[in-house]
Structure 1
Amino acid sequence: MKNNINLDDANTLAINSLVFLAADSELLSRFLALTGISADQIRAAAGEPGFLPGVLQFYLGHEPTLMRYCDATGTDPAVFQEALRLLPGGRQESD
């Protein structure tokens, strides 16, 4: 089932997800370790193509983290897949 979101919604979800993980030292540490960037590089990296899809992939790659975000924000987990598909550099799935 597809959610009715657009590119702006997908960007907003990715940015909000980044803010959420940046506010949690445990999530941030794991994210930085997986991406290989440092905390002071996040702001610059956020403007790079592929970074925001990478944030969504971080959540999708670890269900407890995804559910933690979704439970805290009332977000449907399925929105993450659709947002990833919409973002430039995200997964291009055939329908």
Structure 2
Amino acid sequence: MKNMQGKSLSVEEAQGIATEALLQLSREPEQIGRFLAFSGIGPEMIRDAAGEPGFLAGVLEFYMADEALLLTFCENAGIRPTMIAAARFALAGGEPDYA
């Protein structure tokens, strides 16, 4: 992922980061199970839920709540951890609800 230092993320860039994060979760059965429990949806509902406003922001909030998961994703994606918060802000605005 490119270095976006000094500029705010567009919604499209934020959606790309969140989609990549969701794809990484889907490759790890234990983590996707945790995410489904966190989000309150079943596996059959992910595709529909992904089209709902706020879903991708929720994916990023899930990462932000687990530092080890966050750091692993950022290393794999080649982005700074602060980019997750910036992407979440671009998607939903304001402070995360879990804080």
Moved over 6 A (4+): none
Percentage of identical aligned residues:
38
- 1:4-43 alignment runs, 5 A limit: 4=7, 5-43=9-47
CA distance in 2, matches of 1:15, 1:91: 18
CA distance in 1, matches of 2:88, 2:80: 14
Question: How many pairs were matched up?
Answer: 90
Deviation at 1:3, TM superposition (A): 5.2
Structure 2's unaligned 5+ residue stretches are none
Which one of 60, 64, 68 corresponds to residue 64 of structure 1? 68
Which one of 59, 66, 79 corresponds to residue 83 of structure 2? 79
Which one of 47, 51, 58 corresponds to residue 47 of structure 1? 51
The alignment's C-alpha RMSD in Å is 1.4
- The amino acid that maps onto 2:66 is H
Deviation at 1:91, TM superposition (A): 3.6
Going from structure 1 to structure 2, the CA distance change for 1:40 and 1:73 (only over 3 Å counts) comes to same
Contact 1:57-1:84 within 8 A present in 2 as well: yes
Structure 1's unaligned 5+ residue stretches are none
CA distance in 1, matches of 2:6, 2:33: 31
CA distance in 2, matches of 1:62, 1:30: 11
Tell me the TM-score normalized by structure 1.
Answer: 0.87
